Structure 1
Amino acid sequence: MRAAVYHGPRDVRVEDVPEPELDGPDDAIVRVTHTAVCGSDLWFYRGESDRDPGSTVGHEPMGIVEAVGEDVRSVAPGDRVFAPFKISCGSCEFCRTGLHTSCVESDGWGGDNGGAQGEKVRCPNADGTLVRVPDRYADDEDALRSLLPLTDVMGTGHHAIVSAGVDAGDTCVVVGDGAVGLCAVLAAHRRGASQIVAVGHHEDRLALAEEFGATDVVAERGEAAIDRVRELTGGGASHVAECVGAASSMEAAVEVCRPGGTVGYVGVPHGLDGGLDLFSFFGDNVTLRGGVAPVRAYAEELMADVLQGTLDPAPVFTKTVDLEHIEDGYRAMDEREAIKVLVEV
């Protein structure tokens, strides 16, 4: 089968690789029809994180079940499904409490199960991982395009807002205008926040944030951005979503958080070699909550809203490529020509 393979910084090629096969009674084989390039994929693409040359890549699969192991009960061949970026059993102590990313059998995409940027994947723990799309939407391209972000960025943005404790009528600040930050704006709007301040550096992305429900956007940088957010919110917000992971974005998040407030963070930490200064959190009794998003825990509730037409994260996809031209998608995201790239397989 064809799949995207990492060979080194800025060198991702589509090559022939072995097809994954059923390896256990809980497995399913999924023929991938849609996937995506993620902002986190850019770390290995840019050489900023370690990745073994020759490894398959991708972690946001959607497709059709082709085969299942004898113990699989929740899906059957022919079903349309999507899968979170982490594989989980669905039944351990952590999965039962909604923390699927800490599953005792946690696994990721790649290796012998196939990278999700390829024609097929093998899904271990299929009952705990795969999300079945209702049959009436199985071939609805508009619905599928809107559901694909639930594999990662929509669930991650939602986790930032849940972690920040945003409820109806609240004021919140979203730091970051990437796909996750934009989805956090959507999530805050979905939960009924009355004021949503989106902070970023790109006019086109902030314009989309406004379409997604942001009441205010802040494009200033550094202290000017902090001052502008405080001006807009009357001194800061009690609920802040940090969706970047850089030291500067975390520092900005705590500076715009009111004393006693909460920062919900989902940006994977990078550039924090000197450590995170906790004194600002300590001095103002600011709570820090979040981490890697258990998107499987949110999949059904978010899918219900997508399918009834009250939630649509599809506009985060600003470029579409086919699998053979996925390198064009990586390049577009690397050069900030696209917010997020959809890949048709």
Structure 2
Amino acid sequence: MPTWSVSEGSTDEEILGQWLTGGVSIPVTSFRRLSSLLGWLGKKDVAELVLAAGFSVPQGAAGAPTPTTTAGAKPSTRSRQPFCLPGRPVLEAFFKDHVIHVVEHAERYRRFGIAFPAAIVLHGPPGCGKTFAVERLGEHLGWPVFPIDSNSIASRYIHDTSKKIGEVFDRAMDAAPSLIVIDEMEAYLSDRQIHHSTGLHHVEEVGEFLRRIPEAGQGQVLVIGMTNRLEMIDAAILRRGRFDHVIEVGMPSAAETAELIKVLLADLPVEGTVDTEATAAALTGRPPSDIAFVIREAARLAARAGQSTLDDEMVQRALTCLQAHPPKASCNGHRL
């Protein structure tokens, strides 16, 4: 009689993993965990088995080819340019101080017991630029990026979501140094007391994060979470040792808006009549995406009119195209 069975919806990777381990539910793409369970074979033998079956193994695995990308990750290349967040000087300084400098001077920090940057939470209203900031950081670091969102871990099967969470962390650790980005944290890490009536699966998912986030830092995986609803996040997740830095990202100030406008106009043929201060005043408190829209729309209008330069009239016309939605208030706390 078989001691295990393949559940509905199992992938080929999971079937092979169960066969190799004698029934443990683990896909062969989680190479680090698979190798630890098959220690009697050795990593080279495990890699050869996985490759022979037509699946990939992570870079650095014995016997593995050197891939250009890692499965499940968004690849990037290390930027040689200084890190820059237009219109976000304080957040830019935070990333430089707490992440980039630690990475670039690893030996110096290691002597003082700091082996890797600590996990970070960015919270603030929709459109405030959280995602853009994290994308720019990932591009600068040049690390593979592993997203955790509804597309990557959501499942209709009980226990499957927590399993997928673990698999993402395993792949990120296999590809370390790497970056895990948890989008809309409140969807997976909300207070367990709120969901006590929805079953144990939510508690299981939060528990998987609680266990894996500290492990990630030890394995050179930087975890960055983003949320619009910080008050919904389980308190255990936000404790020091898991996410050491909880940073609010509000809407751009007047000075930040003016700086962003200047950056957006820098590569365009601009007429001297453009009143950047008045434009910044009109856009202060708006999301960075709205600011970019106005400049892009003004450029389109200038090109459509056959002008050789972008003038203030086109900027003002672009402003009238912007729907007047008042910005939402952000959560209380430290503002960047």
Q: TM-score range by the shorter chain?
A: under 0.3
TM-score normalised to the size of structure 1? 0.26
TM-score normalised to the size of structure 2? 0.27
Structure with the higher fraction of residues in strand conformation = 1
Structure with the higher fraction of residues in helix conformation = 2
Specify the structure having the higher radius of gyration (Cα): 2
